[in-house]
Amino acid sequence: MLPFKLIYSDKYDLHLGDHVFPSSKYRLIHERLLESQLASVTDFLEPPPAEDTDVLLVHTADWVRKLKTGTLDLHDLHRMEIPYSPELVRAVWLCAGGSILAGRRALADGVAFNMGGGFHHAFPGHGEGFCVIHDVAIAIRKLQTEGSIQRALTVDLDVHHGNGTSFIFARDNSVFTFSMHQEHNYPLEKPPSDLDIHLPDSCEDEQYLHLLRENLHHALSVFHPDLIFYLAGADPYREDQLGGLALTKAGLQERDRIVFAMARERNVPVAVTFAGGYAHRLEDTIAIHVGTVRAAMEVVASMPAAKGNSA
């Protein structure tokens, strides 16, 4: 049995068909965790969908109405870059509910995973780049509204800049946004995060991990969060179709260990979302995401939580 919970639903699949975004990965990660005996059935929790009132903490009433009624225009669909369907809306509402639940479970257990979500390109009034609603922002606002947290840190290690995240939390002193991403990649316009590391093309393990250690340490030194939301994208991998960095699988797993270890040293809970991953071989994306779970297990086992703290 794992010392933390994995949030998952079979309905996380976005039903995109033959698309570069492999939304079947959620089911395949679930299967791999069970088959490898890294996790058991009792380690998984089924999330409820987010309430519309939760989604409206971040998104405009007009955008929610469009999604609920299927009245998106061509410009909306072009920016989303994925086909609209009622199943898509159901899936992203569930993923938002999953990120809320992951936040709550991380506060209780020190770590929790939402196996979907990490849709960091969604803006309050529109979707972008495969992202329809911003589950992490919704979860942060929900947890703040109910008084579970006051301050949150987003650690976005997807290959792409979290433009929706930085826009939503601009000028908000209660949320610190940290993004390490390939500079010459999507999105073209990158609203400033509180801390942006714009990586060069073909950045390899050694340089990446050095910059991560240095800058995550800085973020945690100047900002003291109640909770970290970690967007653990698989797309910095060197064989990713939509990425131009050059990390190995071993480098990505060390990336994950750094995040979990630095958080645990400071007794800060971590809620994880898997975010992007588009490797030429889907098996590689699955292995990288499973590696993030394995890294969390190793850090939790080797670094007992301090007494009197949930983390």
Determine contact, residues 176/229, Cβ cutoff 8 Å. Answer: no
**Per DSSP, what are the bridge partners of residue 96?**
none
CA distance 186 to 90: 26
CA angle 179, 19, 37 (to 5 degrees): 70
The residue that leads in pLDDT, 309 or 278, is: 278
Q: Sorting pLDDT into bands at 50, 70 and 90, what band is 309?
A: very low
SS3 content of the chain, % helix, strand, coil (to 5): 45, 15, 45
Q: How far apart are CA 249 and CA 279, in angstroms?
A: 11
- In the CATH hierarchy, which fold is given to the domain comprising 5-302? Arginase; Chain A (3.40.800)
Q: In this model, does residue 94 exceed pLDDT 90?
A: yes
Q: Residue 206: which H helix or E strand, with range? A: helix 205-222
Give me the amino acid identity at 156: D
Cβ contacts of 51 within 8 Å, gap of 6 or more: none
- Please give the share of the chain, as a percent, with pLDDT higher than 70: 98
Give the pLDDT score at 306. 58
